[in-house]
């Protein structure tokens, strides 16, 4: 009897079902999704399949089969067992959640190490530089020394970059609407089992910085300016020539840094920028500015899509005024349903914008970038 290849994926949300889980299923893996959302887990176990629909005029659809679900709070033992049988373990759960799932993954790894010498490949698929390294650090805090030794050469951790726009979905269905474009880049020099749609590279740094500081910076700029203009969706916002121009100018700044840092070809990078601006125009996605602007504390972090390209551009003597303006717009994102946005607004109210830049973005008060952001913040507020 043929044994079915197994993979465990934490986070049965938009990227989980609409991208990473779908690729594994299409590569003949059985995908065990792990999530805290009972309604998703129950549906996965009842329906055993769902549809991935492309956000195009034709709405091409693929059926994703060979899927099941486990709740990581209520079914710890079952998750540990699934990890024992898996070749891959992936996550798309949000960078802030990684420390919370690490203890259970550590238990799975420990029990697996006691019973098997088979390889396990762990990949965090999050919008964060070095997300798998961060997950590894949290997992290792829960492993004893003997297990850490035992898993050397059998449990591998690879960083990755994930790129596919997947908007918020209808919660009553497992089906997922996704853009046609996708890119999943994984950093490894190992020979690993094939997964359809996975691109392997030796060095992820240029790929993840190019992606985060083009796709995600551009998207964030549209989201924050769109929100300020009272727009609902990304494509509506981009139709406003003023915002479209702001996006292009900001991506010229991140582009100048990327070209200098990684020796990218300027013309090719310009094409990459233009290609991504076209992706943002997809009206079939109906992608809300509040989703793309979500979690501004994370997005204003020192290593994230707005602050890092600005600090790097400043260090390299390049222009960063448009990035500063985007950061100022992020500080004005006061969406009441976004917990992080509300926290930022409270901090601004009590201590002012420079305090947020210091505590959230690790920028000193007398930093030129801080001064420029605060100046633009006051301008935008008028
Ligand atoms: N949606 C998108 O277009 C893209 C998202 N990403 C990244 O992918 C990751 C996931 O994003 P989405 O799929 O959009 O989010 P999502 O909110 O649709 O999915 C996250 C899933 O994680 C589950 N979850 C939350 N806390 C949990 C916990 N403690 N234990 C188990 N499950 C838990 C949620 O119930 C949800 O189903 C994020 O890091 C995001 O930055 C990357 C590229 C594109
Ligand atoms: O906002 P987050 O959680 O970083 O992730 C979603 C982002 O990733 C993207 O899919 C880009 O890959 C955009 O849709 C969005 O800006």
Q: For tokens 């197994």, what's the residue? A: 6
Same domain, 191 and 255: no
Residues 281 and 266: their CA atoms lie apart, in Å, by: 23
Domain total in the chain:
2
User: Which residue minimizes the CA distance to atom 27 of ligand 1?
Assistant: 36
The pair of three-digit structure tokens given for residue 351, joined into one six-digit string = 């201590």
Same domain, 228 and 117: no
Q: How far is the CA of 146 from the centre of ligand 2 (A)?
A: 38
pLDDT at 382: 87
Q: Residues in the chain, how many? A: 382
Which residue range(s) make up the domain with 85? 5-203
pLDDT at 2: 54
Question: Is 317 labelled as part of a ligand binding site?
Answer: no
Q: Which of 187, 203, 219 is the last residue of a domain?
A: 203
Residues 85 and 83: their CA atoms lie apart, in Å, by: 5
| Residue ranges lining ligand 2, Cβ < 6 Å | 127, 163, 165, 215-216, 219, 292, 294
Q: Which of 203, 232, 248 is the last residue of a domain?
A: 203
DSSP string covering 148-201 = HHHTTTTEEEE-EEEE-------TT-S-EEE-S--EEEEE-SS-----TTEEEE
Same domain, 295 and 375: yes
Question: Is 10 labelled as part of a ligand binding site?
Answer: yes
Same domain, 192 and 337: no
Same domain, 222 and 177: no
User: Which residue minimizes the CA distance to atom 28 of ligand 1?
Assistant: 36
Same domain, 253 and 295: yes
pLDDT at 3: 66
Same domain, 238 and 333: yes
Which ligand minimizes its atom distance to the CA of 276? 2
**CATH code: domain of residue 274:** 1.10.1040.10
User: Which residue minimizes the CA distance to atom 16 of ligand 1?
Assistant: 13
pLDDT at 171: 85
pTM for this model (two decimals): 0.94
List the beta strands (DSSP E) in the chain.
5-10, 29-35, 49-54, 61-65, 67-71, 88-91, 120-124, 155-158, 160-163, 176-178, 183-187, 198-201
Q: How far is the CA of 74 from the centre of ligand 2 (A)?
A: 29
In this structure, are residues 330 and 306 in contact, taking their beta carbons and an 8 Å threshold?
yes
Q: Which of 148, 171, 203 is the last residue of a domain?
A: 203
Predicted interface score ipTM higher than 0.90: yes
Which ligand minimizes its atom distance to the CA of 279? 2
CA angle 254, 337, 351 (to 5 degrees): 70
pLDDT at 4: 86
In this structure, are residues 327 and 314 in contact, taking their beta carbons and an 8 Å threshold?
no
Same domain, 216 and 189: no
Same domain, 212 and 172: no
The three-state secondary structure class of 49 is strand
pLDDT at 170: 87
Q: How far is the CA of 306 from the centre of ligand 2 (A)?
A: 13
Q: For residue 166, which atom of ligand 1 is closest to its CA?
A: 3
Please give the span between the terminal C-alpha atoms of the chain, in angstroms, as a whole number.
70
Same domain, 23 and 94: yes
Same domain, 29 and 172: yes
Same domain, 143 and 286: no
Which ligand minimizes its atom distance to the CA of 212? 2
What are the per-10-residue average pLDDT scores of the chain (382 residues)?
84 98 98 98 98 97 98 98 97 97 98 93 96 98 96 97 94 95 97 97 95 98 98 97 97 97 96 97 97 97 97 97 98 98 98 98 97 98 90
Q: How far is the CA of 89 from the centre of ligand 1 (A)?
A: 15
């Amino acid at each position: 009897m043929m044994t079915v290849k197994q993979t465990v994926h934490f986070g049965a949300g938009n990227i989980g079902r609409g991208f990473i889980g779908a690729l594994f299923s299409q590569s003949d893996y059985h995908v065990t999704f792990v999530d805290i959302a009972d309604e998703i887990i129950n549906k996965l176990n009842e329906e055993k399949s769902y549809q991935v629909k492309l956000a195009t005029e034709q709405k091409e659809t693929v059926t994703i089969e060979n899927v099941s679900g486990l709740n990581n709070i209520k079914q710890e033992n079952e998750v540990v067992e699934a990890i024992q049988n898996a070749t891959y373990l992936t996550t798309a759960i949000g960078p802030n959640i990684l420390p919370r799932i690490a203890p259970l993954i550590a238990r799975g790894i420990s029990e697996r190490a006691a019973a098997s010498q088979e390889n396990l490949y762990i990949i965090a698929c999050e919008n964060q530089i070095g997300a798998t390294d961060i997950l590894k650090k949290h997992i290792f805090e829960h492993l004893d020394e003997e297990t850490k030794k035992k898993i050397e050469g059998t449990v591998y951790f690879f960083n990755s970059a994930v790129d596919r726009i997947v908007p918020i979905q209808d919660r009553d269905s497992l089906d997922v609407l996704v853009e046609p474009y996708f890119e999943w880049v994984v950093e490894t020099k190992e020979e690993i089992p094939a997964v359809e749609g996975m691109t392997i590279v030796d060095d992820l740094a240029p790929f993840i910085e190019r992606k985060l500081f083009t796709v995600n910076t551009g998207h964030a700029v549209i989201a924050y300016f769109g929100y300020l203009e009272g727009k609902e969706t990304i494509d509506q916002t981009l139709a406003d020539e003023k915002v479209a121009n702001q996006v292009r100018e900001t991506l010229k700044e991140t582009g100048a840094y990327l070209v200098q840092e990684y020796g990218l070809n300027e013309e090719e990078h310009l094409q990459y920028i233009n290609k991504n601006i076209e992706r943002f125009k997809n009206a079939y996605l109906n992608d809300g500015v509040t989703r793309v602007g979500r979690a501004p504390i994370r997005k204003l972090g020192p290593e994230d899509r707005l602050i890092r390209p600005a600090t790097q551009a400043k260090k390299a003597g390049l222009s960063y005024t448009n990035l500063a303006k985007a950061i100022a717009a992020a500080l004005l994102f006061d969406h009441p349903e976004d917990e992080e946005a509300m926290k930022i607004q409270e901090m601004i109210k009590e201590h002012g914008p420079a305090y947020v830049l210091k505590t959230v973005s690790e920028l000193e008060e007398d930093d030129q970038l801080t001064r420029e952001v605060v100046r633009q913040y006051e301008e935008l507020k008028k």
